[in-house]
Structure 1
């Protein structure tokens, strides 16, 4: 047992410069991992890497659009030239509000490119190396929207359902290669995205609407990014070595207590 440390492990965290990804990047670095922060926003990635380095951690910013397979392949290959990658956290994702009629083809394609193809691109770029090195851990970020119906989240739910089933498929196909693949399904998490969404759509009513959203979790509040990161750490650590092909709701009772 490792006491949940990631000493001498190399991890890629996509979308690792903000929200849940930021919390995962920081926690993994504190636990001894070399962290590569894949971000569209190069400045955000650099800021996160510098903050981790200032705390004594090992972090490198990587400017990467996960929806672009060639870009992903090049960036992953550059890392693999230096050392194997032990852990991949597919956290990068975008949201969309709208039902079927409120989802244009452009909306649908944009969500698919990032949330589905982005996960595929990163796993595809790393799976061969993980096999050659005797194993690894893949952790995908799904959502409660993959398991229950949520109003006005048609395209987002589609994408997270795909993440869930890709997780099961990869876990099944590569279990004999020593590769574990699991996913986390958060409920509502208080990130800058939530604050921005409320400011844009409910100006002057942010506090009221925040409380309404928080109360949709039976536990009565939103999760913190750090709570999601703690579960991610466990699933990527040696203590979770017997766990693969599983989805972990972390939702304040949203799925089981609301249905």
Structure 2
């Protein structure tokens, strides 16, 4: 079988404070996770791909079914602004239109102007567990609810373009997080939208059955399937849980 064509090729060298980021990778899987402790460069890499950070050296190429786009190439003096990059992004802090309801925020993303727009939006609201918030404005939502709207809007707008998610569901309880990730993954599969997300949550990476790029101090130490790359972290976590003293009844 021929090798799959990567949907994202990325080389970044960048100094940020005391951190030297030096990474090069290609992505062919439908969902890839940047995994590592705080300060390892995960979010900076995502921001560089989105065009929100300008590395000292970068060569970043995005591919969809219909196009190939070099969004950054230091040697060729290419550095496209974020709005011209063929990628969609949801940051840690949601940036919703405050004067719009949840439904209107999602409507803006869909850019649907036909008779089926209401049905399409109802499906999106249901899939992202937002139906009961449809007529609420962002100020009336919790931080976690706002983040879910932000992720939903980015996912809807992606429609086959690479999607970047920076810790999309941090802070949610595990059952809701897993349900949202399952529904999000199913939604994106329909449009063949590839995802690069950031997390430091082992359970999230395993639940997604994702490819994992493991980072440490700005370097890639391993890339592969979650069960292999995160085997040590998983064993360490299970050991810590088993070593906890059990609570006995008085």
TM-score bracket, shorter-length normalisation: 0.3 to 0.5
Q: Which has the larger radius of gyration?
A: 2
Give the TM-score taking structure 2 as reference length: 0.35
Greater helix share, structure number: 1
